[in-house]
């Protein structure tokens, strides 16, 4: 198996070294030194990843999946988990996305975080995140993957709470951690079930065992073992990938610095759930019921989050809801067994969403820390570069060809339409979501870059979004730029613009690798991932799982009709995107007074959307408060104070009391001692007599 040693372990370990150096000694370093260390190790990791992928490229001398084990980690009875790394087409994509985009965001952070306190801390955490994320995507077993999984959660917690002096940031960090923990619990249960039933957690072992289709048939219409495992894994994924019902942490996570939002909460960490489902496709494909649940959850999340994104006024929160919505798309793709499409969208999304976040960061940087879009406007002349890349990203996410978002989104929608796990309802909801996506993204675009710049605008209206509180300004400490006037708006330095430009190019071209056949492409991306997604599929279902529209088309011999349908689908999604653009333009450029009138008309609905359907409040009422009450009354005041403290204190009090009583024996009166001796002797003699009698 290990025909060539690629030393895959180096890829994650390099950022770990960077994190260690900066974390331990960074306090004494100058900022330049900190950035040098952080960038050096991230770049080295990226370089190594590129080299490894290059060496292992399919068709070469290395057979995929390429597994490298560098030692045993845990052994317990027959079960053992190695420190092993797994390189196949899927982890190739993930590793390149993580290290590549991670590196760009590191560069950007040098400019963005330049004035912040805790500079070394930031880069140490960021490198630590890279280490865990790479462990996650390179692990060759679920347990090691879980280590990375938890580790990125930790890094996410640390970075969300980076401005830990601010209560909201500290709370957001805790919220992210706790909500993720709920999902992780289910993931753990899934892992335990895997251990119990397969005796191994290695991907090879589990997937090969699943190849026995007599023992593990496709669980159509039944809720068997695989369905339960798949559902457990899925709940884990909903936590990490911010899907209903565990998405609530992601909008709050925007309290972190913007590069963090770009890296962790848009491009990489939140896609871990998608990766995990795609990695486990052998399990999911045998559990159609679980797939259905995944698809419905993804679809609901997509439209739910998109509608919430429409009413947000904080630029980063719009993007946060957009991320949730796009992750919903990926979930939906996985749910219709179109894993390749999901990963494809994951990749393109990583480009344009990182670009959007970094662009938003650039905007925030430019106008001195303001995040509320109502105070922006007219910025396109003042920060032309940022405007240009944001435009590209917006068009990309809206799904307008030939930019990246179009291809991946169209692929997902087409697969949803054609796949036997899909349905037209899901597709229709997807198209509507695409239209809404386009709408809120162009809304953001118009509000930020068009109209009048109004930095002093009074946001006195009662229902200002909670995040737009004045405290936000302190979030990004450009106090030196306190005038907020026109003169203060400045384009970001090149260290920030450079990554933006690279990402913008990526946002344009990344989709071309997956150009579908009906547009003259070969859908290379799907063919590339094909071996991962199809090799473990039972024969009975092979016509559906992982096979794209082409394969379907060949099977059914309806080439012309399929092609026409695909043109129709693509046309529909482009039309939806343009429609969203048109309405956004109408409402926020042509007739800026319209939005207020519309929201006034549907005030109740608007308020509901603005308050995110009161989900946070609902969770608070349903789960948080009862749990708090339960913990306070039962566990703290009841069990802890009464039972446990009672037992401990009781032991003390009891021995004290007993001692106090026994103390009286120690009278100091010799004759009473003698009496005790006599009594003792009498008792012994009586006992012996009794023994003698009973012999």
Partner 1 sequence: MVPLSWYLTLSAVLFALGIVGFLIKRNIITIFMSIELMLNAVNLSFVAFARYWSEHGLKLALSGHVFVFFVMVVAAAEAAVGLAIIISVFRTRETLNVDRVNLLKL
User: What residue ranges bind partner 1 (CB under 8 A)?
Assistant: 663, 666-671, 674-675, 678
Eight-class DSSP state of 484 = -
Least separation in angstroms between CB 663 and partner 1? 6
> Which residue, 663 or 694, has its beta carbon nearer to partner 1?
663
Least separation in angstroms between CB 182 and partner 1? 59
Read off the tokens for 528.
């590339």
Least separation in angstroms between CB 175 and partner 1? 59
CA atoms within 13 A on the CB side of 411: 38
Q: CB under 8 Å to 79, separation ≥6 — which residues?
A: 195, 199, 200, 201
Read off the tokens for 388.
């240009």
> Which residue, 61 or 666, has its beta carbon nearer to partner 1?
666
> Which residue, 571 or 681, has its beta carbon nearer to partner 1?
681
> Which residue, 600 or 670, has its beta carbon nearer to partner 1?
670
> Which residue, 2 or 667, has its beta carbon nearer to partner 1?
667
> Which residue, 632 or 667, has its beta carbon nearer to partner 1?
667
Least separation in angstroms between CB 664 and partner 1? 9
Least separation in angstroms between CB 628 and partner 1? 50
Q: Report the alpha-carbon distance of residue 345 to residue 343 in Å, rounded.
A: 5
Least separation in angstroms between CB 693 and partner 1? 17
Question: Are 665 and 676 in contact, with CB atoms under 8 Å apart?
Answer: yes
> Which residue, 215 or 663, has its beta carbon nearer to partner 1?
663
Q: What are phi and psi of 379, to 5 degrees?
A: -90, -5
> Which residue, 644 or 675, has its beta carbon nearer to partner 1?
675
Residue in the structure block whose two tokens are 């500079």: 119
Least separation in angstroms between CB 657 and partner 1? 16
Question: Are 411 and 566 in contact, with CB atoms under 8 Å apart?
Answer: no
Least separation in angstroms between CB 173 and partner 1? 58
In 3D, which of 11, 279, 1, 5 has the Cα closest to residue 140? 279
Q: Report the alpha-carbon distance of residue 444 to residue 319 in Å, rounded.
A: 9
What spatial distance separates the first Cα and last Cα of the chain, rounded to whole Å?
Answer: 78
Q: Report the alpha-carbon distance of residue 276 to residue 203 in Å, rounded.
A: 11
> Which residue, 61 or 669, has its beta carbon nearer to partner 1?
669
> Which residue, 72 or 667, has its beta carbon nearer to partner 1?
667
In 3D, which of 341, 312, 609, 367 has the Cα closest to residue 492? 367
Least separation in angstroms between CB 658 and partner 1? 15
Helix (H, G, I), strand (E, B), or coil: what is residue 81?
strand
Q: What are phi and psi of 593, to 5 degrees?
A: -85, -15
Eight-class DSSP state of 588 = I
Eight-class DSSP state of 665 = G
Question: Are 331 and 241 in contact, with CB atoms under 8 Å apart?
Answer: yes
CA atoms within 13 A on the CB side of 73: 17
Least separation in angstroms between CB 651 and partner 1? 23
Residue 348 bridge partners (DSSP): none
């Amino acid at each position: 198996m290990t025909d060539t040693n690629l030393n895959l372990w180096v890829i994650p370990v390099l950022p770990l070294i960077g994190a260690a150096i900066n974390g331990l000694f960074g306090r004494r370093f100058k900022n330049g030194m900190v950035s040098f260390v952080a960038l050096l190790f991230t770049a080295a990791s990226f370089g190594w990843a590129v080299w490894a992928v290059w060496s292992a490229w399919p068709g070469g001398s290395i057979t995929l999946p390429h597994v490298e084990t560098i030692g045993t980690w845990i052994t317990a009875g027959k079960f053992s988990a190695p420190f092993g790394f797994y390189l196949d087409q899927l982890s190739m994509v993930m590793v390149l996305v993580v290290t590549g985009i991670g590196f760009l965001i590191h560069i950007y952070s040098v400019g963005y975080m330049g004035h912040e306190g805790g500079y070394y801390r930031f880069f140490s955490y960021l490198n630590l995140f890279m280490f865990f994320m790479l462990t996650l995507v390179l692990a060759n077993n679920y347990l090691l993957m879980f280590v990375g999984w938890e580790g990125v959660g930790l890094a996410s917690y640390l970075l969300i709470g980076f401005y830990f002096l601010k209560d909201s940031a500290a709370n957001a960090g805790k919220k992210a951690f706790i909500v993720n923990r709920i999902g992780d619990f289910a993931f753990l249960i899934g892992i335990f079930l895997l251990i119990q039933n397969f005796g191994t957690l290695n991907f090879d072992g589990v997937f090969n065992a699943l190849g026995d289709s007599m023992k593990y048939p496709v669980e159509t219409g039944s809720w068997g073992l695989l369905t339960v495992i798949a559902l457990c894994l899925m709940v884990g994924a909903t936590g990490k990938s911010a899907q209903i019902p565990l998405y609530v942490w992601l909008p709050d996570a925007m309290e972190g610095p913007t590069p963090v939002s770009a890296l962790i909460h848009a491009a990489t960490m939140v896609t871990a759930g998608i990766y995990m489902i795609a990695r486990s496709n052998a399990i999911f494909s045998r559990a159609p019921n679980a797939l259905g649940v995944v698809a419905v959850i993804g679809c609901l999340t997509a439209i739910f989050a998109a509608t919430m994104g429409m009413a947000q006024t904080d630029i980063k929160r719009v993007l946060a809801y957009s991320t949730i919505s796009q992750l919903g798309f990926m979930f939906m793709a996985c749910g219709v067994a179109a894993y390749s499409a999901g990963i494809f969208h994951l990749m393109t999304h990583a480009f344009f969403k990182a670009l959007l976040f970094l662009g938003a960061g650039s905007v925030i940087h430019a106008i001195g820390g303001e995040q509320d879009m109502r105070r922006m406007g007219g910025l396109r002349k003042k920060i032309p570069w940022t405007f240009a890349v944001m435009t590209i990203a917006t068009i990309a996410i809206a799904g307008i060809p030939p930019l990246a978002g179009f291809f991946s989104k169209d692929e997902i929608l087409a697969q949803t339409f054609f796949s036997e796990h899909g349905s037209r309802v899901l597709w229709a909801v997807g198209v509507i979501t695409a239209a809404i996506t386009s709408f809120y993204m162009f809304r953001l675009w118009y509000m930020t870059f068009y109209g009048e710049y109004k930095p002093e605008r009074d946001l006195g209206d009662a229902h200002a979004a909670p995040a737009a509180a004045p405290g936000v300004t302190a979030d990004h400490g450009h106090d030196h730029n306190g005038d907020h006037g026109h003169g203060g708006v400045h384009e970001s330095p090149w260290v920030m613009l450079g990554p933006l430009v690279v990402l913008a190019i990526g946002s344009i071209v990344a989709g071309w690798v997956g150009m579908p056949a009906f547009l003259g492409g070969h859908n290379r991306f799907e063919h590339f991932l094909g071996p991962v997604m199809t090799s473990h599929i039972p024969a009975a279902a092979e016509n559906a799982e992982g096979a794209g529209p082409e394969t379907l088309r060949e099977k059914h011999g309806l080439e012309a009709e399929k092609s026409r349908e695909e043109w129709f689908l693509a046309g529909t999604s482009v039309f939806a995107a343009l429609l969203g653009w048109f309405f956004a333009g109408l409402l926020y450029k042509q007739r800026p007074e319209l939005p207020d009138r519309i929201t006034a008309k549907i005030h109740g609905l608007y308020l509901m959307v603005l308050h995110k359907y009161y989900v946070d409040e609902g969770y608070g009422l349903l789960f948080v408060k009862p749990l708090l009450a339960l913990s306070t009354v039962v566990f703290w005041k009841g069990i802890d104070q009464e039972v446990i403290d009672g037992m401990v204190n009781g032991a003390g009090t009891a021995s004290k009391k007993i001692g106090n009583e026994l103390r009286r024996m120690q009278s100091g009166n010799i004759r009473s001692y003698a009496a005790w001796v006599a009594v003792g002797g009498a008792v012994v003699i009586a006992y012996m007599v009794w023994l003698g009698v009973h012999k």
